[in-house]
């Protein structure tokens, strides 16, 4: 019985650790061009920084963060929390040097 309990405990801990390791952060911004979002950042700070970068690099006006959440690992997750602005197509900017994505 002790061996079974030990295995169950080890599996539970492994599952808990692996779940948190895959949890990405996402943020959404509002701007003169509508809502934009990002996902799968390593931290809330990174998600916030990336969202503001994605807005300002496109020269949108009135950029502001409208929300951030954990467990936003994909575009589909971001769609659930922050619907896209109809008719607007955004290109994802990955790095500071991606000044061409507008």
Task: Please give the average per-residue pLDDT across 57-65, as a whole number.
Answer: 93
The answer to whether residue 28 sits within a structural domain is yes
Can you tell me the mean pLDDT for 18-27? Answer: 73
101: in domain: no
In angstroms, the Cα distances linking 83 to 9, 41, 68, 93 are 40, 19, 14, 19
Look at residue 87 and tell me if it is in a domain: yes
Residues 16, 66, 102: CA angle, nearest 5 degrees: 100
Query: What is the model's pTM?
Result: 0.66
pLDDT of res. 95: 53
Q: What is the mean pLDDT of the chain?
A: 78
In a domain, 54, yes or no: yes
Q: 14 in a domain, yes or no?
A: no
Tally of domains within the chain: 1
> What confidence tier does 50 reach under pLDDT thresholds 50, 70, 90?
very high
Q: Which domain holds residue 77?
A: 22-96
Contact 67, 28 (CB under 8 A): yes
What are 47's two structure tokens?
């998600």
């Amino acid at each position: 019985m002790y061996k079974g309990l030990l295995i169950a405990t080890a599996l539970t801990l492994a599952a808990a650790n692996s779940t948190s390791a895959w949890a990405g952060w996402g943020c959404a911004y509002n701007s003169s061009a509508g809502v934009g979002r990002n996902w799968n950042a390593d931290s809330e700070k990174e998600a916030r920084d990336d969202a503001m970068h994605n807005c300002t690099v496109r020269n949108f006006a009135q950029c502001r963060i409208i929300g951030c959440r954990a467990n936003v690992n994909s575009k589909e997750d971001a769609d659930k929390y922050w619907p896209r602005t109809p008719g607007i197509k955004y290109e994802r900017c990955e790095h500071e040097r991606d000044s061409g994505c507008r």
